[in-house]
Each structure stands twice: as C-alpha cells, then as structure tokens.
Structure 1
C-alpha cells in the first residue's frame, strides 16, 4: 500500500501522496531534495515527538525507514554537513503552476503555501490569510459550517458553533440529569450526549472528569494552564514561553520544523487568535517538566508528550478535533473543581487506574460522536454550491476562491 506523508522543509510544507514503500531510499532522498531544496547528500529526516533523526540506509527502501501512513517528516540539512554541501536555495514554482503535478518519481506532490502571495487572496469573513496554516484555515471553514457566517465572524476555536457560555449552560442543564455533553456536527440525531466523568477503578468513588475550557482561540494554552497551574487564564504567558523556547533553539525548531520562519513563528504564536498543537504541547511539557497526555476523541489515540524524559508526573487533556479541554481526577462525582487533582504518577496501580478511567471517558465521548471528523466533514459552498468533503477540499477551495460561506450537508 502506498504512503501519504506530510513533509516540512526550508521551503515550506507539502504532502507526498502515492509514495511506494519499495522506492529506493536514494530515490526518496532525491524526491525530498526536489521539494525542500536540501541537497540529497546532506538530508537529515526527523519524525515523531520529540523529533528524532532516523537512520537512512544507502541501499535500502522506503519500507526500511519504518514510516507509517500519515507521518509528518521534518527535513533539514545535517548538522555535520560541510559548507560545500550546503543546501541550494529552494526554487519557487513558476507562476500558475498546477498543484498536484506528478514528479518524476510518480509521487503526487500537493503544495501547502506558507505565507505565499497567492494565499493573501483568500479571505475568511474578511480576515486576510497570508500566514494562516492549513489547520487554522480548515477550522474557520468548519466553524462557518456549524453556525453560519455571522457567528463564525467572531470565531472561537473548537466552539463547534457554540459560545463558551452556551456550552457551559448546556452542560449544567444536562448534569442535572446525570449526563452532560455538547452538540457537534458528528453527533447523531436525537441529541446524543456523553458522560462527563468516569469512575477510577478501585478509586473509592474518585473519577476522571472533563473540565471545560473557554473557546477563545487559546484553549490549548488555557487547558495546559489548568492542569499545570490550576488557572484558565495562562494563555498569554504560555504563548511567550513557547516563543522564547523556539527563539533560543533555532536548530531544533528550524523553519522546516515550524512550517514558517522562526522569527515569524515567534510573533505568530503570541497572537491571541492563533492556535496551538503538537509542537506547543511538546514545548510546554518540557517547560513544566511533566508529561502531557493528549487524547484524541475521534481516534481514541493518546499521545504522551515528554514520555521519554523521565518526568514523574502526568497531566491529561482531551481534543475533539477543534478544541482542547482539560481532564482531572475528582474526589467524587460532582466534587467542586477546588478539589481537583490534575497531576498523577503514571506508573503503578493508581496511575494505571486513572489512565483506564480516562480511556473509558474518551471512549464514551467517541461513542456519542462528540468530535469533529475533519477528514470526512461535509460542506457545501454557499457561493458556488460546490460540495466539499474533508479538510483538504475545504482548505483548497477557500484558498483557490476566497469563498467563505459554507453550510453543512
């Protein structure tokens, strides 16, 4: 089966589709060199979080690199490369070149412009998109589909078409009946709800609970602030922390890894309307010296940041495809937040029981379809009536046309 890989390099991001696992590593390096501008003889490939360099056998195949479909690769020049082997300057594609043209290797290349002149033509509710990355563009399109252009004009991240106040009111009303949830586009008809807590096995009534974070474009930072500092207003400070870490280590956090220029990124991430993700969780885990376990509701997958650092404590987050909430251990069902425990030792029986409860809560939330399926989300453009499916089509349509009036279908 062919692989689809996301690639970050000095010249920006691209998606490599149809990569044959039987392709020789040399042909693969030549392909990466073509797209990143890094000489194939000096390429270093990093993957995972924290990003680690992978060994590249000269006589092997792509299969021997142990890459998985959907992996994100960071491509840079090896730190041991000599000046004579420096990467050539990336060549800009000719004006009007077709996106998705086939390279000589047969792999399809889909460029994702980073701050390109063409992206400034696309606007979403009057907001220019010159430095908007793919995920942010997608989220705006999804938000537009959920509540219409008027509501999305004051977009809040992960709101799924609802203000934070509306979400909390809905939860409080549902909690009176013993359950709580929030409606999102994937929820089946009939108002399916998901429980907001799960009992910890052997925990004498303690439970893992979901703590709602405001949808204000800073949910990741405020969720981290809640589990680390018991504060929902740490976003500005934590954005500065991330910017300082990146500025102080431009080799690890290089242009290719970040998807934009280092200085640009440091300015970008400190803006209140910009979203955080895996890179920021990786950095904040190191900043606090604690593991951050982030559960994805749709896939039920858990990514643990800082797991290889020997940190003794772990905190929990939950992600619904657009929005991060915090998770904590409550002393009993309905216990006030003041009694929350947001840190625990992952090893041992107690840690295993807490993780089991967190997994159960995420599974129940998944079963109620309380997530946004970004790969298969159905939209129709209100301007040209074109049907769109998934993040790629929504983003590309917005970039190509500037249309921003979407509706769910």
Structure 2
C-alpha cells in the first residue's frame, strides 16, 4: 500500500518510513525502524501520540493497525538501555485517564540527581514515570540538531555564542540546560512545559503559545530542576502529564511556588559560590560563572561553600 507513510523522529533527525502497509506485522515495522535508525531491534523504544506514549512492540505477530498505528503518524524512536539498576524502574504511571485527572491528590517533587543533566532527567521522568539519567544524551542531541538546522533563529545573538559552538557545548555532559533547551524540548515532544520558579514564585510556561493539549510540571530552585507529579490519595499510580485545560493543577503549581519561596527552597544565584573545575578559580554568582565560561571556554563548575 503505497499511501501508508510514517514519520520518524530520532536523535539524528526526522525520517520517513515507506514500503509498509496497515496489515503488515509488527516485526516488519521493527525491522524497518531498526534499518532506518540504526537502533537494534532489541533496543527499540518507540513513542507515539500526544502526549507521546510508548508503543507496544511486543506483539510481533499483530498487525501494525492492530497496535493503533495509522498512516501519517509520527513515531519517536529512542534506544532503550538493556541494563538497568533495580531502582531505575518507575511506579505505575497514568497520563490521561479522565477518572484519575479529577481524583484528590498532592503535587509533589521527585528529586533527581544533581549531575548537570537534571533538566533532561526531569523531562524524561514526566514523560516516562521513572528516573533514567541515560535520556540526557538523547535530548542533548535533539537540541543540537534543532539549533544546527535553524541558524537564523538560533543566531549568535540569541545563543550568546556562535551556533556551531553552542551545538558542541550542549552535547557535553556537564553543560546545564535552561530556557532555550526547554523551548526546544517542548516543541519536539508536543507538550507545554510549566516550570515553577521557586526564587520568584512564578510559573514560566514553555510552549504556551502553541496550544498543546498536554502540560507537564518542573520546579527550578535557581540551579537545579526536579520534576513534579501528582501523588493520589487513593491510588498507587502517579500522574505527571495533565490536560492544559486543567486549571486546578496550575493553581496547585502556583501555590507550590509560593510555598517554596516562603520557605526559601531556592538558591540565590547572585550570591552562591562556584568553582571552575578547570582552573580552580572561585566565582560569585551565576553571572560571574557565565562570563568566565564565555571568556575562557570553561564549562565545568561545581558549587562550593562561600
């Protein structure tokens, strides 16, 4: 069936799948995706829909249409890690059940590692319901590819450095993510990302103007990002993705921002002290660290006692 076409997003860019039909088997789809992306069949992790949800590829003898994939769908293909630590697996994860959306619960923070990739780990958590630090490299490549593909929008004036230099920088494991990276990930995953700023008690919403159907929440304390999830009072399943029309969750997030500020759950980025790991110079505040990075190219910093 020549008219059956799938779009595929991978860390190396967007691709098109031709040569399949709705009645073809899932194992044929897996073989095609492996061929197209270079990801081994056993390591394929495929997401589809809005918000992106995992596609069940285990029923290899089922037809493609049987697992809910239709012509024109966009598939996000990632390479899953074969080896996991026992505590890497997340809890049962609900993203869009209406009966759950109105259930009583508490918006809570999930603490993720402070390893310079906390933003990416946090986004991975709200998408998949588990802490998986390996997703950072994939997201860094998504961002680098998006920036490299549009040098006019992502100019040196916008990025604070030449486009090519930024792309090399963001791929490094010790480079911190922020507003630019959040806006790109919001667009890539088709989700509004609402970030609670506990310094100023405000919510910054990335993708708000795109009218996405789904929203996720992160909290930022000036240095570190963590994901937020709804802990229900009467269920063992958490929820991390919410309808954008759900004003209740926005109100709860705003309240959480006020509480975090009043209890000083933030780092004053103007006063905290960093050390450049490369040259051992102490720097006072985020602005000084950013200027040092621009002057020297050093990007490896650690927080130290003042």
Number of residues of Structure 1 aligned to a counterpart in Structure 2: 195
Do the aligned residues in 1 keep the contact of 2:193 with 2:218 (CA within 8 Å)?
yes
Residues 355-401 of structure 1: CA deviation (Å, up to 9, x unaligned): 1112222222221111101124479xxxxxxx98644467668979x
What is the deviation of 1:231?
Answer: 4.0
CA-atom RMSD in angstroms: 3.2
Residues 141-165 of structure 1: CA deviation (Å, up to 9, x unaligned): xxxxxxxxxxxxxxxxxxxxxxxxx
Distance 1:377 1:267, change over 3 A: closer
Partners of 1:397 and 1:250 lie apart in 2 by 25
Do the aligned residues in 2 keep the contact of 1:295 with 1:301 (CA within 8 Å)?
yes
Find the structure with the greater CA-based Rg.
1
TM-score, structure 2 as length reference = 0.56
Which of 178, 184, 205 does residue 304 from structure 1 map onto?
Answer: 205
Residues 252-303 of structure 1: CA deviation (Å, up to 9, x unaligned): 1122211122222112111111110000000000001110001110101111
Matches within 5 A, 1:232-381: 232-233=131-132, 234-332=135-233, 339-347=237-245, 351-377=246-272
Partners of 2:162 and 2:271 lie apart in 1 by 31
Partners of 2:302 and 2:243 lie apart in 1 by 47
What is the deviation of 1:313?
Answer: 0.6
The corresponding residue for 1:212 is: 111
What is the deviation of 1:346?
Answer: 2.1
Which stretches in structure 2 are left out of the alignment for 5+ residues? 1-100, 275-281
The corresponding residue for 1:95 is: none
Distance 1:311 1:364, change over 3 A: same
SS at 2:157 equivalent: helix
Which stretches in structure 1 are left out of the alignment for 5+ residues? 1-201, 380-386
Distance 1:209 1:407, change over 3 A: closer
More strand by share: 2
Matches within 5 A, 1:194-205: 204-205=103-104
The corresponding residue for 2:120 is: 221
Do the aligned residues in 2 keep the contact of 1:222 with 1:231 (CA within 8 Å)?
no
Distance 1:388 1:342, change over 3 A: closer
TM-score, structure 1 as length reference = 0.43
